[in-house]
Structure 1
């Protein structure tokens, strides 16, 4: 239990964390991964390379320090992070390793003795947070095992079909190698896929949204081959360039809370780029649901570069043609002149009703812009859900 003095000590470190937090977390990851190299198969090294993982952890440490008097405000995001951890098969012993290297990193970066009272304060704070997360994840693992077709940890799947969607996007159909049942997941959820990366010589995980509704036979992910500063994404490039039908990968059970809250309401899906992937699953799931009353409207709004980059176009078109309640609007960003950006001003009002629920997916900047536009229109924050395709941090929700 943290004492009042320890909480005060942690609060005093917030100015340092604001200015040097990422330097600290960079050092932490380098220290830990050099001394415990087997963890490289748990942490995505692409996120290490581009600095996203260090930045996310820096934000998390800062948020925890700023809210040390009442960490309960962080519970919704802690729950989200625990889901990510379960998807990566992180276990309780991993927290002890992380805690040891985090405390030594604070000591070494700030030139403090490990016996300093500030280190003791952070040790107590970390133990408090770790205990909460371990307990939360334990319940999640147990729930996964109880579901029909469910499992925890990694399960071997076989690539049974590979479809080129666009020049840099492919859909991969994954069936369980053991031919046993699959869980009935919620459309909008994601899985982790872990593959052997030849250029690294070890396995790497990456989380991908499922791009189809449950079917009991296979999972489908629709993957964009990523590149950063001319360096390929480790997992996406392996899936695109190396994986062939018949090859095997490790897969975790579906996780995540990005799913339709009320199928009886008008639901509006707004996405950009590869953010379309969970939206197609959400759309397909809604159109499959039986209804005893007049079906609710569905608005499907998507922003993409041009027709050649419109991923899963045929499926969206088919669903719209077969279900009159589905209204689609596709914006091609290359057609926007003068540096203009997509805004909701160009969307017919009938597609954006005041009582609808809104689901956003795409780059962080796109989600922020659309979310701000919706709030200005009087849409309640409770009506807006989003999924950002990036490494998350720990911030109050």
Structure 2
């Protein structure tokens, strides 16, 4: 799968140079683990919601409930069939007797211009008071997004962490000989292809504002790095040098892309302008394979995979140059470094007893936690709030995606009805 392929591809490219001188699909999510404590929340049916069904649009209450269940931190209390809007008088004693700590209510009204007026309010049942409320005016294509934003507000108010339901994910779907780079909502819905090719697509990476994806495409029978604008569909070549061009990663300001090139026989890390063109600037210099760079949130460091110690391990070094510091020591194989948004956690793939597992390290203490069981788990990608990881795994003999919380308690699996999904990357918060 991806990271072993990336590292082995870099190995093969270096050796070769030395010797030579389909249609979109929705993801199905199965939750297999939950948090140690789940907050009981009731989501009452929104007033006037049948107006959405009449237009074949999703029910907001269904989307919100599904979001909260999927994250593993909430238990949905039966709200009955009675609709409650944001102005309804709440019988707090009744909701307390049902076991709810919080209650969400709201309404949806179709406007004359075809948009919808969506309003919601969250109540603290124990304190018997409203704690947050908001309104949105989405078009019909944005109803799900409005529901995700409501779920985000509920999540943040009840956990203290920013919600990630209104974010997007990208991944590669393979069916037969066809590859698609797909972009979907965080729950796998609204999946749309950004690129379709008869050749492999690997290593997608989001830019900081979520409007572009960099990736490696083999459509011209060699690995070339592209940057792809999602709003316009236009793309540009970032790296098309002799040899291999791979493993793109954006700088935090979105102006630079780190790539792995084989310009000098071995795979080394270079910096390029994100607009394309210009000479690459080499930032690693070793006789080993250096690849899979990612930037620290402040842009001052890169984390990367190198076999300079004999086997692949994770290192850190200043972007401006300097000594590389080895970070992983508990095994003989660590690849695919990824950093949480706050820069406090490092995720990677660790090989333990022949099994490839996703791990997370607290960078302040170097404490490691193995989050998955393997045997073929790869491509970890942090949610923008740092509380979850998306990764590539296998299910029923096919490639699938998994999600796990950074404490290892909450787990889910994402599959499609037909085809293999791989190469996941979780997008940033959207403004």
TM norm. shorter chain > 0.5 = no
- Point out the structure with the larger strand share: 2
With the shorter chain as reference, the TM-score category is under 0.3
TM-score (norm: length of structure 2): 0.26
